[in-house]
Amino acid sequence: MIKARSFNYKIKKAVSWTCGSCGALGNDINSLKALIVQLQDDVRELKSINSLRTADVTTSKSCDLEEIIAEISDRERRKCNLIIFGIEEQDFNKPRTNRIEGDKTIVTEILNSLHNVELSNVAPVRLGKYQQAKKRPIKITLPSEQDVHAIIKNTKKLSQSRVFQNVVVNTDRTPKQLQYYKDVKKLLQERIDAGEQNLTIRYINSIPRIVRI
């Protein structure tokens, strides 16, 4: 099993950079520190996936290094994406460019109601094949991961909207993340069925956990 080392960064006092290039280097260092912390969370979640699947321990080994690297790379690729569910399909008789612009108008209205974000260069993409009477989810890529977090933090506002109360906005999760959430949800139901009370799922360091309320 791969153990992630713990990195603790302690800053005793603020550093004043005397030139622009030094300041840029300082920003790069801070970004690297944040990335290391995120990678630690990712590795912890991958290890948690294995601990939940105790029934498979005898037939399969824990994720090897290549699998972990591939998973982290996949999460890095998705980190600025959002998946939006519940938006009506555009008239399929219209040209494709018109349908994309129609989706973009609605997506912009929804997201700006949650967080002020630059969307002029965003191109919404419908996922899956078109089927009449079904609403395909829309994937969009935002300028930054911070914009994603700010929007997700405010998604509860959608339930209070008369127009968008049936719209759901989620992060773009990998198959392993989706499976892990299903495993946690199943375990929660098993514990509730066994008589435990006041339990719910909450995200701690971006990882879904069962906690008491």
Q: Name the more confident of 159 and 25.
A: 159
Nearest in space to 208 (alpha carbons), one of 84, 58, 199, 1: 199
The least confident of 5-14, 56-65, 117-126 is 5-14
Q: How confident is the model at residue 52 (pLDDT cuts 50, 70, 90)?
A: low
The residues near 91 (Cβ < 8 Å, ≥ 6 apart) are: 99
Domain 81-171 has CATH 1.10.3470: no
Could you identify the residue written with the tokens 């959608």? Answer: 158
Residue 77: the pLDDT is 95
Q: Can you name the residues that pair with 140 across neighbouring β-strands?
A: 82
Q: How confident is the model at residue 11 (pLDDT cuts 50, 70, 90)?
A: very low
Task: State phi, psi for 145 to the nearest 5 degrees.
Answer: -65, -30
Q: Is 113 helix (H, G, I), strand (E, B) or coil?
A: coil
Domain with CATH 3.30.70 in the chain: 81-171
